[in-house]
Structure 1
């Protein structure tokens, strides 16, 4: 990062902000936590970031060792961006920041939720029930098109989220991002069904997923 934009302090917090403190940097990290993405996919997830700003952040993060560029083999043969091992170490920091900020209500203009952000909500706030068996789901958020397809595996300790859906899931859910977020923490599927969700397979697995995602701010502002 150019020296003129740095804090010029030896403090670890200042040094960290020198690396990821520029606008869009941490959101780029957020979008890569579930796996690599092409530049166009990052643009879709960060629609108000200009192409130049996004290119600058990716270049700076790559120079700092947080992100790397990789060419996928044929037949894909496209360039993607992914987090390095060191870059993945930012996940608990990004999650903690997001959880802390939940205590502040969103403004009227803070409406857009990227698909990876919605699915990271599952990974962050799912509260497992140890006695329940492992189950897999295919989740499709239809307002995001092909980018909205994910696989979720519920275990006795966590919810694993990936861009690749399982071949034979126990259940499948097709809905919208807003409907999914609104359903989290509820103990039935009434809201989802009313919102034109499509559920296939074991509906109890879907109920378990949405009911056990309990979004809790880390602190009370008051």
Structure 2
């Protein structure tokens, strides 16, 4: 059993639920949609299987996540946020904005979920009208959709419903390099490491949506 602060303050009670190491990162990696245990383990390279199992069990006991069994023939167990767990999204996005000003660790990389959550964290509602549309990000074996409408952006781990306005197909290393400004999209597409589909103006909107949260480091 995790220890309690024994404090009635909402901050302390929240930390009783998600204050253990790795707990909030598990929640972060489920914000865009359900994941299997192996997917969570692969997205959190510093966590051991035993610790991850313990955090999943604790979060489920607290009602933050739930396990869904797909049943035969797949026999796959998916972990997903409950409605209460999804309430942590604005907290995590704001924590991400705040933490982006802290000194980065000497080693480490952005995970794909972190990269795409940055779209939400850096989104300016005032630009919703000019960025309006449906955009796919096909990264390796995974597909994500970003939908801009009604002064907000929604990002999910799933294909678009219908044909997207524009799509970027690449691998996670190239996406990191583009977001880090170590490679331009033009160079990535010219070398065959990435492909952009859709009308030219929609492609530009997709890139504006993706790259705005990642200004060049000076």
TM-score under structure 2 length normalisation: 0.84
Matches within 5 A, 1:1-222: 1-2=1-2, 5-73=3-71, 76-109=74-107, 111-128=108-125, 129-132=127-130, 134-141=132-139, 145-147=140-142, 149-166=143-160, 167-175=162-170, 176-182=174-180, 191-195=184-188, 196-212=193-209, 214-215=212-213
Where structure 2 has 5 or more consecutive residues not aligned to the other structure, the ranges are none
Per-residue CA distance 1:54-89 (angstroms, 9 max, x = gap): 000000001111111111255544111111111111
CA distance change for structure 1 residues 157 and 16 in 2, over 3 Å: closer, same or farther?
same
Higher relative contact order (CA 8 A, sep 6+): 1
CA RMSD of aligned residues (A): 2.3
Is this contact kept in 2: 1:136–1:171, CA < 8 A? yes
Where structure 1 has 5 or more consecutive residues not aligned to the other structure, the ranges are 184-189, 217-222
Tell me, in whole angstroms, the C-alpha distance in 2 between the residues paired with 1:99 and 1:155. Answer: 22
Paired residues, number: 204
CA distance change for structure 1 residues 168 and 75 in 2, over 3 Å: closer, same or farther?
farther
TM-score under structure 1 length normalisation: 0.82
Per-residue CA distance 1:13-36 (angstroms, 9 max, x = gap): 111111101000000000111111
CA distance change for structure 1 residues 133 and 97 in 2, over 3 Å: closer, same or farther?
closer
Tell me, in whole angstroms, the C-alpha distance in 2 between the residues paired with 1:8 and 1:155. Answer: 43
Is this contact kept in 1: 2:197–2:203, CA < 8 A? no
SS at match of 1:132: helix
